[in-house]
Every structure is written in C-alpha cells, then in structure tokens.
C-alpha cells in the first residue's frame, strides 16, 4: 500500500472541507438570489414593486383578470370580488379579494402571486398588496383584501409587448407554518 505524505492528505481534507462549505453556502444563498433574479427580470411572473405612481396615463387599455386559489390544506374560501378590470396603461386601479375561514378554529394564511403572461410581469406594478403578509382569520370570519396596481407605461415602448391586451394576476393562499411573519422584508 502506498502512503501519501501527511501534507497531501491535509490539503485534500482542507480542499474537501472548503468545497463542502461553499456548497452549503450556495444552498442557503440560492433562494434569496433566485428571488432577486425574479424581481429584477420578472421571470416566472414576478411583478415589480412600485415605489411611486405610474406617471403618464396612455390611451392603450389592458384588461386585468383576477384569479384566486387555495392550497387544499387551507380551509378557506378565497375569490376575487371582481373577475376583471379594464384599465388604461399607467392608470392606478384598485381590486379586492375576499377570504373566509370555513373551519372551527383560527387559521393563518399567506398568499403568493404571479402574473401571466410572464413577459408582462415586469410591467405590472403593485403599490399595495396583501401578498406575503400573514392573514389570521377567526372561525367563520371573512375579510376583503385590496390590491392597488398599475400597468407601467414602459410596456408601450416594447414592441414584443404589442400583443398584450390582457394580464392575469393570480394568487394562491397557503396555511402559514410558523405563525410569524412570512417575510419581514417581502415586497408589497
């Protein structure tokens, strides 16, 4: 049997430990980096977070459809108050969703969202939203939750967006696992 000098074994062990540490670090960084990537690019229907008003209001109109879903483990009814709104590009609009706890105990839920078509996500900006904020409903309690949004006028400057006449905003509610804030730094 050939024995490697101790310093070569130590180098292999150190390199292996470093590779393992980098892999663990990359695993922890993957979710926040993917979230940042989606927010910047609109990938996967991630909407933009608006920090101010839209600016110019254009003559172009877009119909925004509202979709509501619940995870099968959440004993809630969840639906949009209105199925669609037609808005002018740049115009701020307000829509509502209603949630009702159908169980006999308090339940806390949290919603995620996406926008279709995906290519329109970067132009759909929410000013106020219930997403990523935990909602606790008492047995039989119902609430209305607002979404304040606009379609960014920059959509009109992109030729690949000329065919976008409708956008669907879809939410899915899940039961919260920890009872704390779903994301303290999540966007509206």
Strand ranges of the sheet holding 166-175, from the earlier edge strand across to the other edge: 84-88, 61-70, 166-175, 107-116, 135-137
pLDDT tens figures, 11-56? 777 778 777 776 766 665 555 555 555 555 544 444 444 444 556 8
**Which of these, 112, 102, 101, lies nearest to 46 by C-alpha position?**
112
| Band of pLDDT at residue 147, cut at 50, 70 and 90 | very high
pTM for the complete prediction?
Answer: 0.67
Distance CA 14, CA 145 (A): 54
Q: Of 2-6, 109-113, 182-186, where does mean pLDDT reach its minimum? A: 182-186
Task: Convert the pLDDT of each residue in 83-134 to its tens digit.
Answer: 999 999 999 999 999 999 999 999 999 999 999 999 999 999 999 999 878 9
Do you know the residue count of the chain? 188
Query: Bridge partners of 135?
Result: 109
Assess whether pLDDT exceeds 90 at residue 2.
no
Q: How confident is the model at residue 177 (pLDDT cuts 50, 70, 90)?
A: confident
Contact status, residue 144 vs residue 83, Cβ threshold 8 Å: no
In this prediction, residue 8 carries a pLDDT of 77
Residue 136 pLDDT > 80, yes or no? yes
Question: Which DSSP string do the residues of 3-22 spell out, in sequence order?
Answer: PPPHHHHHHHHHHHHHHHHH
pLDDT score, position 39? 52
Name the residue among 166, 118, 128 with its Cα closest to residue 52.
128
Whether pLDDT at 163 is above 90: yes
Domains of the chain, by residue range, sit at 1-41, 46-175
Rg value, the chain, Cα: 23
CATH architecture of 46-175: Sandwich (2.60)
């Amino acid at each position: 049997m050939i024995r490697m000098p101790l310093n070569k074994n130590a180098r292999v062990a150190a390199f292996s430990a470093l590779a393992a540490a980098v892999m663990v670090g990359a695993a922890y960084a993957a979710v926040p980096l993917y979230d940042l990537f989606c927010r910047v690019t609109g990938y996967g229907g991630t909407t933009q977070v608006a920090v101010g008003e839209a600016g110019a209001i254009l003559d172009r109109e877009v119909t925004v459809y509202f979709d509501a879903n619940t995870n099968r483990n959440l004993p809630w009814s969840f639906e949009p108050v209105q199925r669609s709104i037609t808005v002018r590009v740049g115009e701020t609009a307000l829509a509502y969703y209603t949630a009702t706890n159908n169980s006999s105990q308090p339940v806390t839920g949290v919603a995620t969202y996406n926008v279709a078509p995906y290519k329109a996500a970067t132009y759909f900006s929410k000013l106020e939203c219930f997403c990523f904020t935990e909602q606790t409903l008492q047995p039989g309690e119902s609430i209305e939750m607002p979404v304040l949004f606009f379609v960014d006028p920059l959509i009109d400057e992109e030729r690949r967006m000329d065919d976008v006449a409708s956008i669907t905003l879809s939410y899915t509610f899940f039961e919260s696992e920890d009872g704390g804030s779903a994301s303290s730094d999540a966007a509206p």
